[in-house]
Structures are given as structure tokens and as C-alpha cells.
Amino acid sequence: MRDAFHEDLDTITDQLVEMTRLAGSAMARATTALIDADVHLAESVIAADDELDAIREKLDALSIDLLARQQPVATDLRIVVTSMRMSSDLERMGDLARHVAKVARLRYPEKAIPAALVGQVVEMGQVAERIVAKAGSVIASKDTEAALQLEREDDDMDELHRRLFAALLAERGVYEPETIVDLTLLGRYYERFADHAVSVARRVVFLVTGEFQREELDHESVEDDREARLLG
């Protein structure tokens, strides 16, 4: 039998996994809305973000309540605090999916993505889906080996992002300024989505291995690593 405290922790874990599912679904549908210029799908992604926000609010309320009632220390305290940070990452991932959907809505009935760049955006969407699904598995399994796989997905996102910029800059005079603006922002949304997924996985690793403070440094370093490779 689990005690009430650990049952609450299980609930938190389940809800975090559910948040990864919702964020992944949102990003997948946002990408489709973008490619197909499907404004109804875009609207549904934008509206559905409320659900993710609501789960995050409930999770945070539960965590605060746990802190007040159970006054956990040591590992249990770290789990609760880290869970609040994971829910923050996941809520932000939902925001980023919504941003992608808003670009689709803004340009409707036009397509925001020129035909020559559709393949790259589709691939970024696929990597985003994979990385958040893996983040969900890591939260559920606490498997630190699986957590490392997210770094590879993140490398793939880097590579796609670099190729997208290269394509935008290589074709001088081909793309309208609006297209360059849209693709620059979209590239950043997909990149940050992957960053937050890696951050979630690293938080799990550091919970398991007990190195608490490192997670923040490493969240930072996700972006630093990428910048170094992208901007050289």
C-alpha cells in the first residue's frame, strides 16, 4: 500500500505524463494546420491550450497543498519542487504549439510555408512529436538511459533548424519579408519546444541521481549548446 503522500505523487506523475500527451498532440495538429493552412484546426489548437493550463494550475495547487500539509523534506521535497518546474516546462510547450497555430491562422487563407520549405517544417514537427513522447516515457519510467535519447532528438532539431536558416538565407530575393519573419519565429518555437522537453528529461535524471541544482544549469545549457552550433 502506498501512503496518501505517495499516492499524491503518483497523481502528479500521471498528470505530467498527460501534459506531455496534450503538448505533443497540440504541436502535431499545429504543424498540420500550418502546412495545410487549415484555420479550423489552428483554432482548435489555440482553444485546447486552456486544458493544458488548467492541468498545470491544478497540479501546482496540489503541490502547494502537499508542501503545506505533508511538509516533505529531502527527496520528497525535491520531487514536489521539481514537478512544479516540469509542469511549467510543459505548459510552456503548449504555449509554443499555440504560437505555431497562430501563425497558421494569421496567414490564412494563404499558406505560411512556401512549398520548398514544407518538408523541413514537417520534419521539425515530427521531431517535436517524438521528443515530447519520449519526455512522457521518461517521466513515467524514470529511465535515465531513455532520458539521454532526448539529447539526440534535440541534435536532430538543431540540424533541421540550421538547414531552415540556411535555406532562408541562401535564396536572396526569393522569399517575402513576411515569410522570413514567420519562418524565423517558427524555427524558434520548434527549437524552444525541444529545449523544454530536454529540460523535463534532465530534471528527471537529476531527481534520480540526486543532483538537484544542476538541472537549472543544464536547462540553460540546452539553449547555449544549440546557439553555439547554430550561430557558430
| Positions that interact with a second copy (CB under 8 A) | 53, 56-57, 60-61, 64, 67-68, 71, 73-74, 77-78, 81, 84, 88, 91, 95, 99, 102, 106, 165, 168-169, 171-173, 175-178, 180-181, 184-185, 188, 212-213, 216-217, 220, 223, 227, 231-232
- For the record, the C-alpha cell of 163 comes out as 538547414
Q: Are 125 and 50 in contact (CB under 8 A)?
A: no
180: amino acid identity, one letter? I
Question: Between 143 and 225, whose beta carbon lies closer to a second copy?
Answer: 225
For the bound state, the minimum distance from the C-beta of residue 209 to a second copy, rounded and expressed in Å, comes to: 17
For the bound state, the minimum distance from the C-beta of residue 8 to a second copy, rounded and expressed in Å, comes to: 16
Q: For helices 144-170 and 115-141, what crossing angle results, to 10°?
A: 170
Q: Are 190 and 124 in contact (CB under 8 A)?
A: yes
Q: For helices 177-209 and 214-231, what crossing angle results, to 10°?
A: 150
- For the record, the C-alpha cell of 93 comes out as 510547450
Question: Between 70 and 149, whose beta carbon lies closer to a second copy?
Answer: 70
For the bound state, the minimum distance from the C-beta of residue 109 to a second copy, rounded and expressed in Å, comes to: 15
For the bound state, the minimum distance from the C-beta of residue 183 to a second copy, rounded and expressed in Å, comes to: 9
